A and B are shown apart, each in its own frame.
Chain A
């Protein structure tokens, strides 16, 4: 049985990508694995800002970070719930993984673990300046992944 991976994250979700992945999995008679990556860069940035220039100590900063992480986790469950409903409607076999950390590393780890044939990733809009100076994470994933990666532009 083939495996299709849909990669969602805190800042990368798309209704079109969800629809596409469900239909692709149905067409290929494949299992749909949804990976939701909770990105920690932003929360770390807020925490660093409080530590560096903020007037409050560790406890409120930690509570704040926890509140943000809880919100991100809940959003992840909601997104995965949406995909699960669509998969059930289309009779597609479904599995879900939630993790936090580096987008590319986590995606590659799951691709290896589930022996994925096709991964579907969502690319955020980026400014020309950023495009010139740094590669997008999704492009990096497409280069490094041992499987085909289909990219959706937001």
Chain B
């Protein structure tokens, strides 16, 4: 038998081997310590327990030592066990409209990918507009953004990545050295990130935030209203993003005719547009129109689920196909986050935190928006954007109720910047994919991304200051 000797320093081995059990033991002890502290004035026992659970989830989400979905399941079972909410109420929260909307949107995106419709649109646009080096970067950037308006930004990144990789290869760009390759992969990642905040469909974080808001306050944000509020931020960020991308990584090639042959070969491979692509496209268009114009009256989740049923009636997908395209585990994450948020709100813990910790400075909505958006944009660089929402939104909504600030504004201030993670691969899968290509390093991404992060925060706050009042939002 082959015996391997661990030759690292002994103290390092001991720390590494004992870290996990010690960490979980310490987290558990900390949880019991918070629960057993004397209950502060103004806080109920249920509120204190909700805070203890909130802290544990915060630690687990930040460290990532458990999968996000498992931490959420832990939250779901602990809420009734600690008597924060009763069992029936807790599990009913999992059936929130937002969870079913997310489910429906994932299935629709899965159908678009399975039919090949999304790849065809991508290739057609790149082939049409990618005639010069700048044109190709622009077409990838805008294409990634526009597709992310209609389907999950992660799905868009995964779908476009092999095409961009082949373009880089076809153009003989040197991994880690070519500026042009760096701009191509960042165009893909940033396009997905910026486009992903434009509608409810770019990621599950916005429906999650809206679901948490509705659960806590009864206030709803509909599909159209959200898009109208956010669109100027998206447009300005797209302009800034393209400008910055082409300045930070000026093109080092002049001719891209070799990329054209990649498009032509790929287009040949996928053949002519078939019935399935037309039909899926038709269902998607009808669904989006219904979300935009009848979302309020019919309910976005209902529309999503009816469209999913339509896909099966028209025999456009099989269940087996859909199973392969949807990450079912992540849906647990969203159900858990809504449960945790509701337990914080209903137990009075969120309001207590808002009163005690945040205090008197929260006297101006603009200042509150600036601070929450800053916190969010910083946190989202290091952790999952859904986890950032699950952590900050209950406190934000609690604070809004305490200080007479419109809770919708806080929801925007957290839900939108939560998607704007430009700097690190661990922040979002689109960045991770770009770095995994080897054409761009983490250092390049961080250097270019930090400017984007600052600009994104400024643009979002400027939009809130000048644009929102123009469309009738009182600050």
Contacts and interface: CB of A to CB of B under 8 A. Distances in A.
Nearest to B5: A144
Contacts of A68: 165, 436-437
B159 A49 contact: no
Contact of B327 (A42, A50, A63, A67): A50
A71 B165 contact: yes
A64 B433 contact: yes
Interface in B328-370: 328-330, 333
A143 B6 CA distance: 12
B65 to A, nearest CB: 11
Given A49-B426, A52-B67, A75-B175, A61 B158 contact: yes
Nearest to B69: A52
Contacts of B34: none
Given A64-B433, A75-B175, A50 B169 contact: no
A64 B169 CA distance: 16
Contacts of B109: 55-56
Contact of B155 (A43, A55, A74, A144): A55
Nearest to A75: B175
Interface string A51-76: 11111111111011001100110110
B438 A72 contact: yes
A43 B433 CA distance: 9
B158 A53 contact: no
Among B155, B428, B432, the most chain A Cβ lie within 10 Å of the Cβ of: B432
Interface in B159-199: 159, 161-162, 165, 169, 175
Given A42-B436, A75-B175, A135-B8, A52 B68 contact: yes
Interface in B1-22: 7-8, 12
Nearest to B333: A53
A63 B436 contact: no
A55 B327 contact: yes
B225 interface: no
B249 interface: no
Interface in B363-401: 384, 386
B307 interface: no
A140 B7 contact: yes
Nearest to A65: B436
Contacts of A99: none
A53 B169 CA distance: 29
B159 A60 contact: yes
Contact of B158 (A56, A74, A75): A56
A45 B328 CA distance: 19
A55 B203 contact: yes
Given A56-B154, A60-B325, A144 B7 contact: yes
26 contacts: A42-B435, A42-B436, A43-B436, A45-B436, A49-B426, A49-B429, A50-B154, A50-B158, A50-B327, A51-B327, A53-B384, A53-B428, A54-B429, A55-B109, A55-B203, A55-B327, A56-B155, A57-B325, A57-B327, A59-B324, A60-B155, A60-B159, A67-B162, A68-B165, A68-B437, A135-B8
Interface of A: 10-11, 42-43, 45-46, 49-61, 63-64, 67-68, 71-72, 74-75, 133-135, 140, 143-144
Interface of B: 7-8, 12, 64, 67-69, 106, 109-110, 113, 152-155, 158-159, 161-162, 165, 169, 175, 203-204, 323-330, 333, 384, 386, 426, 428-429, 432-433, 435-438
Of all A-B residue pairs in the complex, the 5 with the closest CB atoms, nearest first, are: A59-B324, A55-B152, A67-B162, A53-B384, A60-B158
